[in-house]
Chain A
């Protein structure tokens, strides 16, 4: 087992990994940018090194500086977290060359699953279901019609240089194909300067269902069941849960076996996630492999009782998996909400600034993975994720109630966050009914303004403010605008040491 691990990341995931290392008796090295000197991960670790200026490209993405830090501190392994260098095959290769263990898949597998076209071909050859689509851009318009017939309507027109929904169009029948193609090409041309488009099967009412997989270096592969992550905003997952309401035991077993096969044909090791789209008729299609620890991994940890970061580290150090597929069971229900520094009432604008006050929710079955504290600054340079709130309960209904209660109990003052928005998402009748598809937010939350404030609520706010403004005589308060925090000996008034008034 390793004695020292460097965590090449920041924020909540860095803190999460540091905690796992501590539990395993492994010493930790944090790296930080100049903007992160006072971030939580820096003082959670045993050692911390500055690796460059605030922009990620000069720090958290700077391979040389990170390897230098590992060599300087004698770290034997690097955990990349998610994002930044986590799926960078060059970084994995550099680690391999320098004799530092990368806690994740080998560079060859990383390269394969990172190349969408090549991995799709590999999967198709292995008999893994993929979304039917065209293999190349045709030279003549007539070819599109024949391809559309082969794939079957409805089809989706996609820009080959595309992304972000631009140039995308759904066509339901052959008579609309010509006009759709023309419009798609025009849009693609103006958005990407390249008018080539291709056709793909349009998946109706899709759910995003992914399988967590662990593969050791000795050929053992297990899956740890699914997570459903259909609740997305701008193609970003915001709520995840397990089990999925769309799977029965038979389909679960089939998808799980397929996920394991994907991992095997990719020559993949360590923790990974196989993503699928599931259509309304319960057909599933391989999307891609996420070659890293996922943001939503705690959901799986709750329902399986397996600590995925411990497993990642054990696998990377060469240990064998200590459990078989048959020993893994799903227990109860888990839901995760991602807490972002965004203003849901103002088109989800990023909200950097100071967290003046944080109160973390707690209680039975409540887990808070956080990268923030009262008084910390949220810099503008990085992803807006602040923390994750995860709950577990014996069934989905209770888990949902528990999440709402925990979100109510979760206070972040000073910046805008998505807490209130998420509470309404979880409380929505369609979520309650398990009717979750990737268009859920678009459909039910296109306009969201929170609930109307009552006169009674304003009275309480005014009352608290009035009371607080008398605080010198009435009690302690948090002061952040440069005033000196009153000493308890001034504010406690009548109290005396040892009691006895």
Chain B
């Protein structure tokens, strides 16, 4: 009997053997649905295409061995901030659980607009230079600021023709990845 704590899943079995659990994951932003069914220590795995029988074991913390038929996979998994970083056979995956259905589609549309208008730090670093002032007019691809990390300078460019609405940082500030630096405004 599985003891489930997290993830978007729904059991449809009543009890004992044959408890099916559905999972939905965003794997590098691609949705993947699978169903797991534990039977006599092994798993029946279903995806959109077929059903597999898998033997899954923990080897040590962060390392999982999966046997599907004779095929052997050694998979590394760590979890951080709601994301799982998964690696096997030379490939990396970022795995997330999808946001609630009710809000997700809506948030997606808003997000893309906001993405354009809020200029975010592409990486953790230090603000070396801010070239613009609030209310200043900017052109697409104009350099707005420079962020430095690990001895490399990166130019932050405007994605639109517009105005600078708000500047959140000053030269010398340390910023985290995805932190808003500058807000832009479309020309009315």
B3 to chain A: closest CB distance in Å? 4
Please tell me if the beta carbons of B79 and A481 are within 8 angstroms of each other in the complex: yes
B29-63, CB < 8 A from A: 30, 32, 34, 36, 43, 45, 47, 49, 52, 54, 56-58, 60-63
- Kindly state whether residue B123 has any CB partner on chain A within 8 Å: yes
Q: B3 touching A472 by the CB < 8 A rule?
A: yes
B91 sits at the interface (CB 8 A)? yes
Does B79 contact A477, Cβ atoms closer than 8 Å? yes
In the complex the two chains form, is A413's CB within 8 Å of B7's CB?
no
On whether the beta carbons of A380 and B89 are closer than 8 Å, the reply is no
* A114 within 8 A of partner (CB): no
**Are the CB atoms of A350 and B91 closer together than 8 Å?**
no
A471, B7: Cα distance in complex, Å: 12
CA distance A273 to B174 in the complex (A): 37
A337 vs B2: C-alpha distance when bound (angstroms): 44
Least Cβ–Cβ distance between A448 and chain B, in angstroms: 14
Of all chain B residues, the one with the shortest Cβ separation from A420 is B90
Would you call the interface of chain A mostly helix, strand, loop, or mixed? mixed
> Number of B residues contacting the other chain (C-beta, 8 Å)?
63
Instruction: List residues of chain B with CB within 8 A of the CB of A465.
Output: 23, 25, 77, 84, 86, 95
- The stretch that binds A, out of B98-106, B109-117, B137-145, B147-155, is B147-155
Select which of A349, A450, A467, A479 is within 8 A of B79 by beta carbon.
A479
- Name the residue among A411, A420, A455 with the largest chain B CB count within 10 angstroms: A411
Contact B95 A473 (CB under 8 A): no
> Does B73 make an interface contact (CB < 8 A)?
yes
- Return chain B residues, CB-CB under 8 Å to A461: 25, 27, 32, 75, 86, 88, 93, 95
Interface string of B67-78 (1 = CB under 8 A from A): 000000101111
Residues of B within 8 A of A411 (CB): 76, 87
CB of B150 within 8 A of CB of A477, answer no
A384 to B123 Cα, complex, angstroms: 13
Tell whether A414 pairs with B85 under 8 Å between CB atoms, given A350-B150, A478-B79.
yes
Output the least CB separation between B13 and chain A (Å).
15
Answer whether residue B188 sits at the interface, using C-beta atoms and an 8 A cutoff: no
The reply to whether A357 and B76 form a contact with Cβ atoms under 8 Å apart is yes
Contacts of B57 in A (CB 8 A): 475
Say yes or no: A463-B45 contact (C-beta < 8 A), given A420-B92, A458-B32, A477-B77: yes
Residues in chain B near residue A380, CB distance under 8 A = 124-126, 149-150, 174
Assess the B56–A478 pair: CB atoms within 8 A: no
A477 touches B125 (CB 8 A): no
Task: Answer yes or no: B169 CB below 8 A from chain A CBs.
Answer: no
**A186 proximal to B (CB < 8 A):** no
Most buried by B among A346, A353, A463, A468: A463
Q: Is the CB of B58 within 8 A of A462?
A: no
Q: Say yes or no: is A382 at the interface (Cβ < 8 Å to chain B).
A: yes
The answer to whether the Cβ of B81 comes within 8 Å of any Cβ in the partner chain is yes
Q: How far is the CA of A383 from the CA of B151 in the complex (A)?
A: 6
| Given known A-B contacts A461-B27, A475-B58, A477-B79, A423 and B90 have beta carbons under 8 A apart | yes
Contact B149 A481 (CB under 8 A): no
Whether B27 pairs with A478 at a CB distance below 8 angstroms is: no
Say yes or no for B4: interface residue by CB 8 A criterion.
yes
Does B179 belong to the interface (CB within 8 Å)? no
A89 within 8 A of B: no
Residues of A within 8 A of B61 (CB): 476-478, 485
| B64 adjacent to chain A (CB < 8 Å) | yes
Q: How far is the CB of B93 from chain A (nearest CB, A)?
A: 4
Q: Confirm or deny: A354 has a beta carbon within 8 angstroms of a beta carbon on chain B.
A: yes
User: Cβ of A142 < 8 Å from any Cβ of B?
Assistant: no
CB distance from A79 to the nearest CB of B (A): 22
Whether, in the assembled complex, A464 has its beta carbon less than 8 Å from a beta carbon of chain B, the answer is yes
Q: In the assembly, what is the distance between CA of A414 and CA of B89, in Å?
A: 17
Chain B residues within 8 Å of A458, by CB: 27, 30, 32, 93
Residue B82 at the A interface, CB < 8 A? Answer: yes
Q: Which residue of A lies closest to B154 (CB)?
A: A349
Residues A467 and B64 in contact, CB atoms below 8 Å apart: yes
A460 contact from B9, B75, B82, B152, Cβ within 8 A? B75
Interface residues of B, Cβ cutoff 8 Å to A: 2-7, 9, 21, 23, 25, 27-28, 30, 32, 34, 36, 43, 45, 47, 49, 52, 54, 56-58, 60-64, 66, 73, 75-82, 84-93, 95, 122-126, 149-152, 154, 174, 177
Ordered by A's residue number, 14 sampled pairs between the chains whose C-beta atoms are within 8 Å are A351-B123, A352-B149, A356-B85, A357-B76, A359-B76, A455-B47, A461-B27, A461-B75, A463-B45, A464-B56, A465-B86, A466-B25, A469-B23, A481-B80
Known pairs A453-B27, A459-B45; list 19 more (Cβ under 8 Å).
A350-B125, A350-B150, A350-B152, A353-B124, A359-B63, A380-B124, A380-B126, A380-B149, A408-B90, A414-B80, A459-B52, A461-B27, A462-B32, A464-B64, A467-B64, A470-B4, A476-B58, A480-B80, A481-B81
